[in-house]
Structure 1
Amino acid sequence: MSEEDGGTGTRSQSDTPAQGRGTRVTSPRPDRAREQFRYPADGTIARPPLTLVTRERLHSALDLGVHSPLTMVVAPPGTGKTVLLSDWVTRRRQSAQPVVWLRGQAPGVLEGVLEWVREGDGPAVTDPIVVDDAHLLPAAVVGEMSRVLQETPHAVRLLLATRYDLLLPVSELEVRGMALTLRSRELRFNDAEAAALVRAHAQDASPADIMLVQEKAAGWAAALVLAARTLQASGDVVWPLGNQGEVLDLLLGETLNTLDKRVQAMLLSTFGATTLSGRLAEVLSGDSEAGSMLADLAGSGLLVTAYADDSASKPLYRYHPLLVELLRRRIAASADDRQLVVSAQHRSALYYENRGDSGSALRSAVDADDAALVERILLGHGPELLAAGKADLVAVGFDALPAGYLDEHPHLLGVRGLLRRVSGDVSGAVLDAAAADERAADRAAATPDDDALEADAALLRLWRSRYGWQDVQEAIAKARSLLTGGHSSPPAVLGPERLAWLLIELAATETWADDLDAALTHLDEALVTARMAGHHRLIAGCLAHQAVVHYARGQVQNAARSAQASFDVGGRESLPEEYSARANVVLGLAAVNELDLDTGWKYHRVVAGTEVAGSDTVVAGLRTMLRAVLLIERGRLGEALTELTADPTAAGPLPSFLSRDLALARAWLAALLGDTSTVGTQVTVLERTGNSTEAGLVRAMTSMISEDAETALKQLDAGLDQPGLYPPLASAAASFRTVLLSRTGDETAAEAALLDTLNRVTPQHMLHALASVADDPVLLDLLRRNATGPNPHPYAAAALEKLSGHRAGWSKAGGMSPLVRVRPGAQAPPPRRLDALVNGVHVRLTAREAEVLDELALGSSYSEIAQALFITENTVKTHLISLYRKLGVDKRSAALRAARSTGLL
Structure 2
Amino acid sequence: MPSGVEGGAIAAHPIFARDLPGNWVPRPRLDELLDEATTRPLTVVVAPAGSGKSAMLRGWAAQQSARKRRVLWLDCRRARPRVASGVVDALARASEAKGRTVVVLDDAHLLAAADLRAVGELLADGDGRVRIVLASRRDLMLPLVRLELAGQVTTIRATHLRFTDREASRLITAHANGAAAADVQIIRDRGQGWAAALVLGARALAAATDPVTAREALSTTEQPVLDYLLGEVFETLDARTRHVLLCTCSNDLVTASEAVVMSADAGAATLIARMAAEGLLVTAARDASGETAWHYHPLLQELLRRRVVSDGPEHELHEAAEARIVQVSGQHGDMATALRHATHLDDAGQLVELLRTHGLGLIANGERELVGMALDAVPDDLGDGDAGLAVLRALERRAAGDLKRATQLAGQALALGVGPQAHPSTAWGVGEPILLCWLARTGLLPATDAIGAARRRLERGAVDGESHGPDAGRAADGARAWLLIELAVVECWAGQLDAAHEHLDAALVVARAQGADLPVIEAMAYASLVDLARGSYSSADRRAREVIARVQETAQQQATFVASAHVVHAWVALNDLDLELSEQHVRLVRREAAGELDVVVDVLVHLIECHLLAHAGQVQEARSYLDSPPPVPGVVPRFLRRWYAELRGWLALLAADVDDAVEAAAELRALGKSADASLVDAVVLDLRGDPSASAAALDELLEACRPGARRQSVGAAAAVHRTWMSLRDGEIEDAEHQLRGLLSRVGPHRRLVLADVGRAPEFVHLLAGEAARDDAHPAAADLLDTLTRLGGGRSIPAQATARAARERPAPPLVVDLTSAAGTTSGMVIDLTSRELDVLRELSLGGSYTDIAATLYITENTVKTHLASLYRKLGATRRAEALRSAREAGMLPG
Compute the TM-score of the two structures, normalised by the length of structure 1: 0.58
The structure-2 alpha-carbon separation of the partners of 1:656 and 1:299, relative to structure 1 and needing over 3 Å to count, comes to closer
Q: Does 1:221 align with 2:171?
A: yes
The answer (yes or no) to whether the contact 1:349–1:365 under 8 Å persists in 2 is yes
Which of these residues, 433, 442, 458, is aligned with residue 458 of structure 1?
433
String of CA shifts for 1:455-476, please: whole Å, max 9, x gaps: 2222222222233322221221
Give runs of aligned pairs for residues 622-661 of structure 1, distance below 5 A. 622-645=604-627, 656-661=638-643
Give the letter aligned to residue 380 of structure 2: A
Give the letter aligned to residue 373 of structure 2: V
Give runs of aligned pairs for residues 332-347 of structure 1, distance below 5 A. 335-347=312-324
| Alpha-carbon distance in structure 2 between the residues aligned to 1:580 and 1:644 | 25
Could you say what secondary structure the match of 2:704 adopts?
coil
Give runs of aligned pairs for residues 336-415 of structure 1, distance below 5 A. 336-352=313-329, 358-387=335-364, 391-407=368-384, 409-415=386-392
The structure-2 alpha-carbon separation of the partners of 1:190 and 1:496, relative to structure 1 and needing over 3 Å to count, comes to closer
What are the ranges of 5 or more consecutive residues in structure 2 without an aligned counterpart? 1-15, 28-54, 65-153, 176-183, 202-217, 466-475, 807-893
Q: Does 1:731 align with 2:731?
A: no
Report the equivalent of 2:59.
Answer: 191
Deviation at 1:366, TM superposition (A): 1.4
The structure-2 alpha-carbon separation of the partners of 1:195 and 1:345, relative to structure 1 and needing over 3 Å to count, comes to farther
Report the equivalent of 1:497.
Answer: 478
The structure-2 alpha-carbon separation of the partners of 1:233 and 1:258, relative to structure 1 and needing over 3 Å to count, comes to closer
The answer (yes or no) to whether the contact 1:410–1:439 under 8 Å persists in 2 is no
Could you say what secondary structure the match of 2:495 adopts?
coil
Q: Which moved more, 1:659-668 or 1:640-649?
A: 640-649
The structure-2 alpha-carbon separation of the partners of 1:662 and 1:220, relative to structure 1 and needing over 3 Å to count, comes to farther
| Alpha-carbon distance in structure 2 between the residues aligned to 1:611 and 1:310 | 28
Deviation at 1:219, TM superposition (A): 14
String of CA shifts for 1:319-345, please: whole Å, max 9, x gaps: 455544543454469845333333323
Could you say what secondary structure the match of 1:805 adopts?
helix
Which of these residues, 770, 774, 779, is aligned with residue 763 of structure 2?
779
Q: Does 1:550 align with 2:531?
A: yes
String of CA shifts for 1:600-624, please: whole Å, max 9, x gaps: 4455567679999899765554344
The answer (yes or no) to whether the contact 2:419–2:432 under 8 Å persists in 1 is no
Report the equivalent of 1:24.
Answer: none
Q: Does 1:664 align with 2:614?
A: no
| Alpha-carbon distance in structure 1 between the residues aligned to 2:694 and 2:356 | 63
Give the letter aligned to residue 505 of structure 2: D
The answer (yes or no) to whether the contact 2:683–2:694 under 8 Å persists in 1 is yes
Give the letter aligned to residue 472 of structure 1: A
| Alpha-carbon distance in structure 1 between the residues aligned to 2:755 and 2:253 | 59
| Alpha-carbon distance in structure 1 between the residues aligned to 2:238 and 2:196 | 38
Report the equivalent of 2:547.
Answer: 566
| Alpha-carbon distance in structure 2 between the residues aligned to 1:388 and 1:441 | 28
Q: Does 1:289 align with 2:271?
A: no
The answer (yes or no) to whether the contact 1:417–1:432 under 8 Å persists in 2 is no
Give the letter aligned to residue 716 of structure 1: L
Deviation at 1:515, TM superposition (A): 1.0
| Alpha-carbon distance in structure 2 between the residues aligned to 1:808 and 1:374 | 67
| Alpha-carbon distance in structure 2 between the residues aligned to 1:589 and 1:218 | 65
- The percentage of counterpart residues that share the same residue type is 31
The structure-2 alpha-carbon separation of the partners of 1:213 and 1:786, relative to structure 1 and needing over 3 Å to count, comes to farther
| Alpha-carbon distance in structure 1 between the residues aligned to 2:260 and 2:488 | 45
The structure-2 alpha-carbon separation of the partners of 1:578 and 1:249, relative to structure 1 and needing over 3 Å to count, comes to closer
| Alpha-carbon distance in structure 2 between the residues aligned to 1:690 and 1:227 | 84
Report the equivalent of 2:455.
Answer: 480
Deviation at 1:596, TM superposition (A): 3.8
Q: Which moved more, 1:588-597 or 1:644-653?
A: 644-653
Could you say what secondary structure the match of 2:413 adopts?
helix
| Alpha-carbon distance in structure 2 between the residues aligned to 1:639 and 1:656 | 25
Deviation at 1:640, TM superposition (A): 1.9
Give the letter aligned to residue 338 of structure 1: H
Report the equivalent of 1:266.
Answer: 244
The answer (yes or no) to whether the contact 1:701–1:818 under 8 Å persists in 2 is no
The structure-2 alpha-carbon separation of the partners of 1:609 and 1:433, relative to structure 1 and needing over 3 Å to count, comes to farther
Which of these residues, 656, 659, 684, is aligned with residue 677 of structure 1?
659
Which of these residues, 429, 439, 457, is aligned with residue 409 of structure 2?
429
Which of these residues, 670, 678, 701, is aligned with residue 688 of structure 1?
670
Give the letter aligned to residue 256 of structure 2: G
The structure-2 alpha-carbon separation of the partners of 1:820 and 1:669, relative to structure 1 and needing over 3 Å to count, comes to farther
The structure-2 alpha-carbon separation of the partners of 1:583 and 1:299, relative to structure 1 and needing over 3 Å to count, comes to closer
The answer (yes or no) to whether the contact 2:541–2:572 under 8 Å persists in 1 is yes
The structure-2 alpha-carbon separation of the partners of 1:491 and 1:717, relative to structure 1 and needing over 3 Å to count, comes to farther
| Alpha-carbon distance in structure 2 between the residues aligned to 1:733 and 1:671 | 13
Q: Which moved more, 1:527-536 or 1:349-358?
A: 349-358
String of CA shifts for 1:789-845, please: whole Å, max 9, x gaps: 556666544432331132469x59xxx88998998369xxxxxxxxxxxxxxxxxxx
Deviation at 1:405, TM superposition (A): 0.7
The answer (yes or no) to whether the contact 1:729–1:769 under 8 Å persists in 2 is no
Instruction: Report how many aligned residue pairs link the two structures.
Output: 626
Deviation at 1:655, TM superposition (A): 5.1
Give the structure with higher Rg (CA): 1
| Alpha-carbon distance in structure 2 between the residues aligned to 1:236 and 1:251 | 9
Give the letter aligned to residue 325 of structure 2: S
Which of these residues, 535, 543, 557, is aligned with residue 516 of structure 2?
535
Deviation at 1:294, TM superposition (A): 4.1
Give the letter aligned to residue 644 of structure 2: L
The answer (yes or no) to whether the contact 1:433–1:460 under 8 Å persists in 2 is no
Compute the TM-score of the two structures, normalised by the length of structure 2: 0.59
Give the letter aligned to residue 433 of structure 1: A
What are the ranges of 5 or more consecutive residues in structure 1 without an aligned counterpart? 1-55, 59-73, 84-186, 197-204, 827-905
| Alpha-carbon distance in structure 2 between the residues aligned to 1:320 and 1:650 | 46
Give the letter aligned to residue 502 of structure 1: L
The answer (yes or no) to whether the contact 1:507–1:522 under 8 Å persists in 2 is yes
The structure-2 alpha-carbon separation of the partners of 1:315 and 1:420, relative to structure 1 and needing over 3 Å to count, comes to closer
String of CA shifts for 1:254-296, please: whole Å, max 9, x gaps: 6655554233312222244344443232122222232344455
Report the equivalent of 1:770.
Answer: 754
Give runs of aligned pairs for residues 64-79 of structure 1, distance below 5 A. none
The structure-2 alpha-carbon separation of the partners of 1:700 and 1:239, relative to structure 1 and needing over 3 Å to count, comes to farther
The structure-2 alpha-carbon separation of the partners of 1:516 and 1:819, relative to structure 1 and needing over 3 Å to count, comes to farther
The answer (yes or no) to whether the contact 1:278–1:291 under 8 Å persists in 2 is yes
| Alpha-carbon distance in structure 2 between the residues aligned to 1:220 and 1:407 | 59
The answer (yes or no) to whether the contact 1:656–1:691 under 8 Å persists in 2 is no
